[in-house]
Amino acid sequence: MNCTDCNAQTKKHGTDRKGNQRYRCLACGKTSVEPRAKLLGNMYLSEDKALMCLNLLVEGCSVRSIERITGVHRDTVLSLLETVGKKCLWLQENLVRNVRVKFVQADEIWSFIGMKDKTKRALNITDEKLGTSYTFTSIDSDSKLIVAWHLGRRTEQDAVTFLEKVYQAVDKTIWWQITTDGWPGYDHTVNAILGAKAHVAQLVKIYQGANSKKDEQRYSPAECVGCLKKTISVRPVKEKISTSYVERANLTMRMSIRRMTRLTNAFSKKWENMNYSLALHFAHYNFCRSHKTLNGATPAMAANLTSTIWTLKDLLRAATHI
């Protein structure tokens, strides 16, 4: 490095009491420490406290419970979520690329932000960032990697955005297959975005009537009595038409993201915070969370994106410029 004062050449000059390398200017004699990129940008929160907060977030703790456990103010926790969420968005967009996949499964999971649509209509609120939201996710059946995801609403435009993200993430030199659920929003969008670029299929579930038990009618889904496998384009492998893995990933989301826990007041109040929470969850899931079905490897390792299990600190280091 060069001197911070006169820009002359420096040489190593021992270390400080924290073990950081010091340098001495050969011209003016001034000593300085080599500048290091901060994991958390301009935040004053210590790295140990920050990592503890992040570990609690990815394990499904609420913001206020983290405040009680760590002593870190809830506003600081939310600022930390925003800082790290931006890094995780960058990681998803830049590291999950050219993934060699064979069979991809896609689904949407419901949640709401601020209030449910019934309340929104009653209060005559038109804010597009409040009310029902859907998280579109796609998972590789072999590596269990979340290939792409998108927070939006259940509209064809959001389906287009999601499918474009999927296509940008996969290796385009090989043929692959994608299975979606039977939501009608995919009828035209899948062909428009993927068309002859992939084998496309739909798994349409057939449900029985509403549950006869009154207490369960509101919260239990109707019984699935059968499935219809539909070919949308090219020639998908019929035996691989399934959404089982992505639906299991939906359960992981419900259990790991406090904002998605049903029947509580922990739901997200801001669209941006929901987006950052999802980004943190998927980055941790892909790069840090080992899977027994993968012999202890992470999905990123199984997809040959990394060679080791990352820690949350590794996750932050990978995007220090954000």
Q: How confident is the model over 47-68, as a mean pLDDT?
A: 96
pLDDT given at position 24? 87
The pLDDT assigned to 216 comes to 47
In a domain, 322, yes or no: no
Same domain, 104 and 244: yes
Q: Which residue has the higher pLDDT, 208 or 250?
A: 250
**pLDDT at residue 196 in the model:** 82
> Measured between alpha carbons, how far is 302 from 267 in angstroms, rounded to an integer?
33
Q: Do 57 and 26 share a structural domain?
A: no
**Residue 167 shares a structural domain with residue 191:** yes
Q: Are residues 5 and 65 in the same domain?
A: no
Q: Which amino acid is at 21?
A: Q
Mean pLDDT score, 9-19 = 84
Residues 225 and 301 in one domain: yes
Section 158-170 average pLDDT: 96
Between 206 and 92, the higher pLDDT residue? 92
Cα separation of 288 and 308, whole Å?
9
* 19 and 67 inside one domain: no
User: Which of 23-37, 229-243, 252-266 is least confident?
Assistant: 23-37
User: What is the pLDDT at residue 37?
Assistant: 66
Mean of the pLDDT values across residues 131-136? 97
Q: Tell me the pLDDT tens digit for each residue of 196-223.
A: 889 999 998 888 765 545 554 556 677 8
pLDDT top residue among 286 and 23: 286
> In angstroms, rounded to a whole number, what is the distance separating the alpha carbons of residues 262 and 266?
9
Task: Indicate whether 54 and 136 sit together in one domain.
Answer: yes
- Report the pLDDT value the prediction gives residue 209, as an integer from 0 to 100: 66
Chain-wide mean pLDDT for the chain? 91
CA dist 297 and 304 (Å) reads 11
* 12: confidence class by pLDDT, cuts 50, 70, 90: confident
Retrieve residue 142's tokens. 């072999």
Per-residue tokens: 81: 């979520």
- Domain assignment present for residue 54? The answer is yes
- 226 within some domain: yes
Q: What is the pLDDT of residues 216-249, one digit of tens each?
A: 455 667 788 888 898 888 889 999 999 999 999 9
CA–chain centroid gap for 188, Å, is: 26
C-alpha closest to that of 300 among 292, 309, 87: 309
- Work out the percent of the chain whose per-residue pLDDT is above 90: 68
> Side by side, which strands form the sheet with 224-233?
146-152, 131-140, 103-113, 177-181, 199-207, 224-233
Full domain range(s) for residue 140: 47-317
Q: Does any domain span residue 41?
A: no
CA dihedral 62, 64, 67, 70 (to 10 degrees): -40
How many domains, in total, are found in the chain?
2
Q: How confident is the model at residue 65 (pLDDT cuts 50, 70, 90)?
A: very high
